[in-house]
């Protein structure tokens, strides 16, 4: 009798998971925490509250730490960042299309931690003691000492589960600092290479 492959076992969801595929949130989070990733600060500038009134307060700078950031295409130059649905950055980038990314160095762990805090009311104080310049096209903060800085314009937004994938065309890309290594995120902690 010839050997026939066994039929695959059906995937049975675990009762606590709520996922038809059978993986719980905790199992998925634990598995993905083993994937090391770079750490970036995504920034944008809110538009003024009343653009027609020159005396009205200007828009606030907004920042968000991200580890789900990647290159998508060389021609044209495209990058992707994943934003939690309903987050301040997600809502801002739904309204306006210009944003920036600073690739953080290993010495900038404090910046990553600061902008990863949940439930903050304002980002104004978070930028207060961080050296930065403004992007030529976006007006967004570009962090001093970052390994690389990019300015982007949203090309596409893709709703995917509880996140939105924002694909941006890179308008400028510079490597202002060659010092130090990258800040990475692995097993739930910021780390250095080596």
The pLDDT tens digits of the residues spanning 47-101 come to 877 667 776 666 789 999 999 999 999 999 999 999 999 998 999 999 999 999 9
Mean pLDDT of the chain: 85
Instruction: Give the model's confidence band at 28: pLDDT under 50 very low, under 70 low, under 90 confident, else very high.
Output: confident
Instruction: Place 175 in a pLDDT band, splitting at 50, 70 and 90.
Output: very high
DSSP string across 16-85: TT--TTS--HHHHHHHHTTS-EE-EEEEEEPPPS-TT-TTSPPPPEEEEEES-EEEEETTTTEEEEEEET
DSSP labels for 137-154? TT--EEETT-SEEEEEEE
Query: Per DSSP, what are the bridge partners of residue 105?
Result: 182
Q: Is the pLDDT of residue 185 over 90?
A: no
Which of helix, strand or coil describes residue 193?
coil
pTM, full prediction:
0.82
H/E stretch holding 112 reads helix 109-115
pLDDT at position 12 is: 47
Is the predicted pLDDT of residue 178 greater than 70, yes or no? no
Helix then strand then coil, in percent of the chain rounded to 5, is 15, 40, 45
User: Which strands, in side-by-side order, build the sheet including 183-186?
Assistant: 37-38, 183-186, 189-192
Report the distance separating Cα 122 and Cα 57, nearest Å: 14
Task: Give pLDDT, residue 53.
Answer: 72
- Answer whether 19's CB lies under 8 Å from 27's CB: no
């Amino acid at each position: 009798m010839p050997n026939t492959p066994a039929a695959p076992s059906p995937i049975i969801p675990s009762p606590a998971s709520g996922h038809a595929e059978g993986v719980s949130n905790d199992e998925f989070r634990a598995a993905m925490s083993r994937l090391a990733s770079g750490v970036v600060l995504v920034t944008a500038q809110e538009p003024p509250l009343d653009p027609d009134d020159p005396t009205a307060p200007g828009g606030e700078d907004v920042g968000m730490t991200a580890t789900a950031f990647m290159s998508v295409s060389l021609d044209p130059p495209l990058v992707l960042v994943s934003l939690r649905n309903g987050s301040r950055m997600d809502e801002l980038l739904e309204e306006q299309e210009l944003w920036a990314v600073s690739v953080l160095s290993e010495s900038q762990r404090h910046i990553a931690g600061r902008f990863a805090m949940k439930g903050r009311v304002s980002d104004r104080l978070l930028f207060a003691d961080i050296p930065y310049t403004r992007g030529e096209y976006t007006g967004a903060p570009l962090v001093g000492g970052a390994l690389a800085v990019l300015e982007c314009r949203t090309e596409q937004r893709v709703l995917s589960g509880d996140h939105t994938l924002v694909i941006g065309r890179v308008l400028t890309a510079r490597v202002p600092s060659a010092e130090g290594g990258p800040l990475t995120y692995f097993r739930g902690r910021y780390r250095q290479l080596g």
